[in-house]
Amino acid sequence: MTENKKFAVIGGGSWATAIAKMLCVNLDEMSWYMRNEAAIEHIKKYKHNPNYLSSVEFDVKKLKLTSDINKAVAYADYIIFAIPSAFVGAELEKLTVSLENKIIFSAIKGIVPETSLIVGEHFHVKYDIPYYNIGVITGPCHAEEVAMERLSYLTIACGDPDKAKLVAKNLSGNYIKTKITDDIIGTEYAAMLKNIYAIAAGIAHGLGYGDNFQSVLMSNGIREMKKFIRKVHRMKRNINDSAYLGDLLVTGYSVFSRNRMFGNMIGKGYTVKSAMMEMSMVAEGYYAAKSAYKLNQAYGAKTPIIDAVHSILYEGQDAKAVFKKLTDKLD
């Protein structure tokens, strides 16, 4: 395994900031692309991102900050994408340099709207990147707790174990523990689906359901996730591992979960538009609900929770009435 590889982070949000923080511990230098020029100048001057995780202080001598995605991609051997899935297509359209021989890792928990594919599949299909050069970084891990240096766990998925180990090594630290897996497709779908279940948990909370119901909802959620992923990509996996069940639980219950927050607003009576305007960050589960529902028309997995969230967000059905029906479908 070759050690001296160059890394770039693509994105300027909380998760990108958390990943940059982790990498900076282990690397002498890295590239970091973000669109916001003002944020770049602020980091150079004050050593922290003014918009996300502002408590994190960077050694700016280690950062090659740029608002040109082509510079970041040209610099790096390993490129970690950490931008909302809804914006992946637009960002990649800016590329003029080749992705050939680049190692792509996705820290994105969503579906690319233009192709209805998870990010790894999108890079494989649209940019002809082989699966052994594609990986996934998943939780259970909230960026906010990384900023506070609370003990967190990451799962690094890649078909090539040496590449997974290299990324895991460079993200590891005193408060970050990592493990690797070869389940690229399953972990990425799980990361997308758990956001939908977190929205469901938020809606339930907003409607006034208690912890007893939430536990049943999450129990059904992990079983529904297992059915969906098995239809998409059948292989031996333990759905109770942290990358699946753990990530679902932290997203469904945490006060830091933007998807739960979004769902809570919907449950309290906000319209989708007003809830999105209220939040300063993207709730990936909103886009995922549409994509997962559409994908499942072909797969035919039994997914009452996904169906319920989709009907509320995209069909304008009343949340209270939908959840009353949903309670009879859970066990």
Domain 186-327, what architecture?
A: Orthogonal Bundle (1.10)
Contact (CB, 8 A) for 84 and 284:
yes
Domains 7-182 and 186-327 share a fold: no
**Number of C-beta neighbours around residue 113 at 10 A:** 15
Angle at 105 between CA 101 and CA 109, to 5 degrees: 145
**Number of C-beta neighbours around residue 241 at 10 A:** 17
- CATH C-level class of 7-182: alpha beta
Distance CA 48, CA 53 (A): 8
Per-residue pLDDT of the chain (331 residues; tens, 9 = 90+): 446 899 999 999 999 999 999 999 999 999 999 999 999 999 999 999 999 999 999 999 999 999 999 999 999 999 999 998 889 999 999 999 999 999 999 999 888 888 888 899 999 999 999 999 999 999 899 899 999 999 999 999 999 999 999 999 999 999 999 999 999 999 999 999 999 999 999 999 999 999 999 999 999 999 999 999 999 988 889 999 999 999 999 999 998 899 999 999 999 999 999 998 888 777 889 999 999 999 999 999 999 999 999 999 999 999 999 999 999 999 9
Q: What is the DSSP string of 60-79?
A: GGGEEEES-HHHHHHH-SEE
Based on DSSP, count helices (H) and strands (E) in the chain, helices before strands.
Answer: 15, 10
Distance CA 112, CA 30 (A): 26
Active-site positions? 194
Q: Please state whether the predicted TM-score (pTM) of the whole model is above 0.85.
A: yes
Q: Which residues contact 114 (CB under 8 A, 6 or more apart)?
A: 89
Domain ranges of the chain: 7-182, 186-327
Helix 184-207 / helix 119-127 crossing angle, nearest 10 deg: 140
